[in-house]
Structure 1
């Protein structure tokens, strides 16, 4: 029987559009006529054969039905996708039809026709027309399910039997590649009941259902739940071989309604993120609204999110400054689109510029007159800066100083530096350069004669930022490759990019001058645990000695140059609370501006000649707690040394006693320290 339904349904659905239109109109005309006959027969309690006296009634039904149905758009709907809204439309059309049919029938005063037929016939016609639409939907479902036979379906449970769960469940049931087998809900009142024909279970039955029904997907449909509660649910399913998906929070849904497009994979950010702390919006708006704001490094991970968050405060002008064309173009398009959605009148100015170009930075500040600057431009990738220390210090330190000097000259009110926890007792050049930036701001803040309020915000890693482990792990898992970590015991502090940006803006708004703020980062996370969670969230398992048949292996590659096992947020123990429970104020030593400028003048000379040893020596002098690696990691300096060694060890021809020349290797002249002929010791 199903086969015949499938064949008939496929024939109808594959027919040209005009054929389907003719079938729909023809069926409705037939329904109008047959329901008149049925209504008369039921009312008169006998088989009523049509006669000439009743002809006007039989003509009235289709004459009214066809224009009314056309007016309501019932012949333009795609009935294979018919939902509840279509039946509401049919109902509205039938109300208009029924009123018109009953009224005209009374005026016609046809002998032998009871007035109740004017009510009974529209009811019967509604049942037939609505039923025909439901039948088309059924045939489409049968046809698609038959065509999907043999393909793997997503067999899923939905956690949350509320309005969002019901809405998304109904949408998923309409998709042939999903098979919804049940709802899970914490409410005891719903257990054992059915929602849209699907049973609701107690969450404790999840393991049995996963094993018995072969569930491979769990969708968490609780947008109004707190992040903590959603994290608890996600954690409870991590031990099962299922893919976990979720709906965004209710504040992220545009109109409170959910659709299939809102479903997203559970990311590690969902597990490590925290419930937001209320921001002092009045303070932020006072600092940002209707002002000109400059963001350097606007195309980066932190800079771009700063721009998005700043837009919520409606600045008059947002200056987007970056030295990478693609990043600048991307954030410019993004904020413009967001501004249209929230109807913000903010002006956006994309500026291609290198922060070390002090003349251009000064000109930008002179022309656009920014009142607030967020300095997020920096080289931040630890190994990359370690391989290129001179350029890292030039960009991070002297780029910051050029913006600082421009801000002072043009009378910028507030300057906020985005710093890092790697500035605390740094073991790498990147961390040392950021600590030097902090000290430079502290020194300038202590100077008199300017009105710029300098502040610094120090925090740990942000989840998903460019160059962080999360995008790397995500790509390795997607490609099925081994996940690489540098050490089994390595830990890092993490926070989400939006949370970091919000707290940076909040900290900058509360600054009074020379303030160094720390963002409360929670507990440090072991990177190997982070990798395991990301594998499990993907519905896969880690391959190790306990599970040799797992999907993804975790490999330890060893610490990279300048990398620490543990990060810290505070050099000493001198810190205090602020009005925001996630922001602390630190009090740390710095060098007076006169002494600092002397050292900086020597540092710039060392950078120009790429004297890496002297660069590190000066950094260590300014920052006593800086503990650089002993070996040279600079790739340019290392290659230069290798080429010098190669030239020295190259065989040469020399004259001996004025007689015939002979070839003498450099090793024979005692040049190579290891006594091996022709070898390189670089």
Structure 2
């Protein structure tokens, strides 16, 4: 405890203290200081060597005085320091290369002195320096210079990591990525991780060592084997494990109080980055991902390359990722439309840096304003529209149903009608699983938009293909449950779950957008494409796992509270209604929902009634009209439940 206190106190005084000794602001020792210290060590080594040799009772040659010999030695070593640039590296980050430099400098200096010594002997038949003295001095000087660098490195680590936990880790796997990671850790600028060994899934690795570290076979007795090693962390390097293997490994590691870290494939590293900056604690998103999607890039290129593409809601989570992925297919121009000024500006800065060769137009506009949209369509030769603009937060929309009508329904109507009138080739609408048997206004408004797009496809004689894509929750999107849980955990809890049995489908943002692009190549128009969302996730399990990944114990250090279902929320989402059937497509993760389209005249009549209802500022009337258009819309846990009886009457 005293050592730990002393260490933390040193860190406070020298590193974090409010005084003149804030060493963290001193990025490195100046070169002149390194040279000065090295020269001082040369002088000290000379003195030590002299005392050692003098005690052997050997007489020194009298050609030069001891002072003159010391000056000569200092000048020779100083010259060798410049020749071998022993001062050029950062002392606190010294490596084997720096050790070799000072070794060469010491050997070269001694060699020069030996040459001078025997040259003088050949001319004057007398030596200047004793050979035992030269050997002892070379050894002493090398050790002094080496100890100086080791002490600086240790002191820097001691002070800079006064309050930072250092992990003794095992690296998962024995392959090029894991070995490269291990080598990088041994020369890392920061000492956050100590390599304890490797984990192998094969028997033939157990009798060998890599970098002097053991290889432990992963099996039923794995955690008993590593107990004596005092390991407190595992690092998963690259993508060598499947998602199922990674989940199994993480669950068992968490049960044994081990921290789990991730590091990307070696191909994603850069020489400028210290490997420690690439090692991150594993996130829940890493465990919910699924195997990589294989796209038909040729088909996607056929309808995106050299085309003008409009993406609405382009600054949002889904829209911005669609923008990034579309940018890889050489579009002629990408129009990014959003009403949120700051996110749109941030995206502009990002895209200009990442895709300098792609032409972009950043359009601040609102899909509710038809005149503004019409001017955009007229000014640009748009071929493809990705419609991702929508209000999506269920409780917020439940309290503001008129806004859902304006944006989710009428905004879609504006865009779809313009797509037909301007002869747009493809119109891809991003929908949601909440549109299936909706229990809230948000889902019902998206279902109404689906209905209109399908009916317009049947009614229109134009060439526009309307394609609807439907999927569930995406990981990391704005306002989604995972960022919300993270904030609650960071603040000490409790983590709030609406119901202990609630489940949700999850998909990563890149995966969802890849499938949106792929679905855009399919069908003749009017189809609703449903994505394979995998297995649903129990939100209670998700909360418990996230708490464990953060290093806490659920219900003990971080509590979980059940707060009840929110307005309009249901226990599970569906991707298909009871009356829908699915047909497979050529892509295994995309299916076609065979929803029977509504008649266009009836749909437009419903929409007209909904639009008129919004003018009365009567939420009940608005929701009533939506329920008439979407008869499967049955409110749950909402003030609008009473309307369901009126609709039936």
TM-score, with structure 1 as normaliser: 0.77
Deviation at 1:219, TM superposition (A): 3.3
- Work out whether residues 309 and 334 of structure 2, in 8 Å CA contact, stay in contact via their aligned partners in 1: yes
Name the CA distance, whole Å, in 2 between partners of 1:322 and 1:87. Answer: 58
Give the distance between the partners of 1:123 and 1:303, measured in 2 at CA.
71
1:496 aligns with 2:502: no
d(CA) in 1 for partners of 2:267, 2:161 = 39
Change (3 A) 1:58 1:559: closer
**Distance in 1 between residues matched to 2:166 and 2:92, nearest whole Å:** 22
User: Residue 585 and residue 110 in structure 1: after superposition, are their counterparts in 2 closer, same or farther (change >3 A)?
Assistant: farther
Distance 2:124 2:210 in 1: 48
- Distance apart, 1:399 and its partner CA: 1.0
Say whether 1:473 aligns with 2:485. yes
Segment of structure 1 superposing worse, 261-270 or 362-371: 362-371
2:581 maps to which of 561, 565, 574: 574
Contact kept? 1:541, 1:551, Cα under 8 Å: yes
The root-mean-square deviation of aligned C-alpha atoms, in Å, is 4.4
Name the residue aligned to 2:647: none
Q: Is the 8 A contact 2:552 2:558 kept in 1?
A: yes
SS in 1 for 2:382: coil
CA deviations on 1:309-344 (whole Å, 9 max, x unpaired) are 2222232322221111121122222222222xxxx5
Shift of 1:405: 2.2
Tell me: CA distance 1:473–1:187, structure 2 relative to 1, closer, same or farther (3 Å). same
Q: 1:59 to 1:112 in 2, by over 3 A?
A: farther
User: In terms of Rg, which structure is larger?
Assistant: 1
1:24 to 4, 24, 38: 38
1:360 — aligned with what? 372
2:283 is matched with which residue?
Answer: 267
C-alpha distance in structure 2 between counterparts of 1:264 and 1:124, whole Å: 48
Q: Aligned ranges for residues 61-460 of structure 1 at < 5 Å?
A: 66=78, 69-70=81-82, 73-87=85-99, 134-144=146-156, 153-160=165-172, 162-171=178-187, 174-175=190-191, 178-191=193-206, 194-204=209-219, 207-208=223-224, 215=231, 217-228=232-243, 229-250=245-266, 252-254=268-270, 259-339=275-355, 344-460=356-472
| Structure 1 position 552 matched with structure 2 position 544 | no
In structure 2, C-alpha distance between the alignment counterparts of 1:631 and 1:153, rounded to whole Å: 48
1:593 aligned to 2:600?
yes
Q: Secondary structure at the match of 2:155?
A: helix
Query: How far apart are 1:457 and its partner, in Å?
Result: 0.8
**In structure 1, C-alpha distance between the alignment counterparts of 2:140 and 2:41, rounded to whole Å:** 9
Unaligned stretches of 5+ residues in structure 1: 36-46, 114-120, 544-549, 638-682
C-alpha displacement of 1:466: 1.5
3-state SS, counterpart of residue 559 of structure 2: strand
Distance of 1:173 and 1:537 partners within structure 2? 26
Compared CA separation, residues 632 and 67, structure 1 to 2 (3 A): same
Name the CA shift for 1:61/1:146 in 2 (closer, same or farther; >3 Å). closer
| Number of residue pairs matched by the alignment | 608
* Equivalent-residue separation in structure 2 for 1:124 and 1:361 (angstroms): 86
Question: Residue deviations 1:347-401, cap 9 Å, x none?
Answer: 2222211111111112122223332221111011111111111111211011111
- Counterpart contact for 1:370–1:412, Cα < 8 Å: yes
1:564 to 552, 559, 570: 570
Write the distance in 1 (CA, Å) between the matches of 2:100 and 2:594: 67
2:323 is paired with a residue whose SS is: helix
- 1:461 Cα deviation (Å)? 0.6
SS at 1:201's partner residue? strand
Alignment of 1:651-662 (within 5 A): none
Question: Normalization by structure 2: what TM-score?
Answer: 0.80
- Give the aligned partner of residue 622 of structure 2: 615
Cα distance in structure 1, aligned partners of 2:229 and 2:499: 40
Q: CA separation in 1, counterparts of 2:437 and 2:134? A: 83
CA contact (8 A) 2:401 2:441 kept: yes
Q: 1:530 aligns with which of 539, 542, 561?
A: 542
Aligned partner (choices 625, 628, 635) of residue 635 of structure 2: 628
Q: CA deviation at 1:534?
A: 0.9
Q: Could you tell me how far apart the structure 1 residues matched to 2:465 and 2:195 are?
A: 58
Cα displacement (A) at 1:140: 2.5
In 1, Cα distance between equivalents of 2:418 and 2:323:
21
Change (3 A) 1:501 1:126: farther
Shift of 1:225: 0.8
SS at match of 1:221: strand
8 A Cα contact 1:167 1:258, kept in partner: no
Matched position secondary structure for 1:563: coil
8 Å contact kept, 2:94–2:153: no
